Structure 1
Amino acid sequence: MADVAGAENTVRLTAWVRGHVQGVGFRWWTRARALELGLVGSASNLRDGRVEVNAEGPKEACEGLLDALRSGRTPGRVDSVVERWSEPRGGLTGFVER
């Protein structure tokens, strides 16, 4: 997938997902949703049990991913999602699980 940093409405979404989200296929599920939306980035387990999601792409697509994370249809159980919006960093290809 091409670098999307040059697009007019490209943003970076960072979301911290708390709940029972490790060891249940949550990162794989997040990656699948992100790729469906045409986003690049990563989903990573954190030591405190949360998953950090970094996604770059069109704002509407990032909002779609955020809605999916909060949908109640994820693997495991999401208790809360904290989001931060910022300028894209660029240089990303694909969407990886870490």
Structure 2
Amino acid sequence: MGRATARTWRTLLVDHPGEQHWAEVVSVLIPAVDVLLVAPTPDAVTSHLMQRLGARLRRSRRCALVSARPWPGAALQLEVVATRAGRGWRTATGS
């Protein structure tokens, strides 16, 4: 009989680390989680910060960063074009 494994999921919520500290919080969480959902203020994402977090993500090799706001230079951008109420799939396209 094969060996069974169970994956546990953890949700971490950092309610509002503040505009001065959100990038530091993200950087610390990258090696600890599989997916990070962020919603930085539009002017908080600088090219230097994107490079720094991008390098950290590449080193981790296990974390995906998903931003609810535009992220210039992102490897993938998704846009919701239609939704259906109730149960079922959501439709999205990548660009």
Identify whether the pair has TM-score above 0.5, normalized to the shorter chain. Answer: no
TM-score by length of 1: 0.31
Higher relative contact order (CA 8 A, sep 6+): 1
Whichever structure has more helix as a proportion of its residues is 2
Larger Rg, first or second structure (1 or 2): 2
Whichever structure has more strand as a proportion of its residues is 1
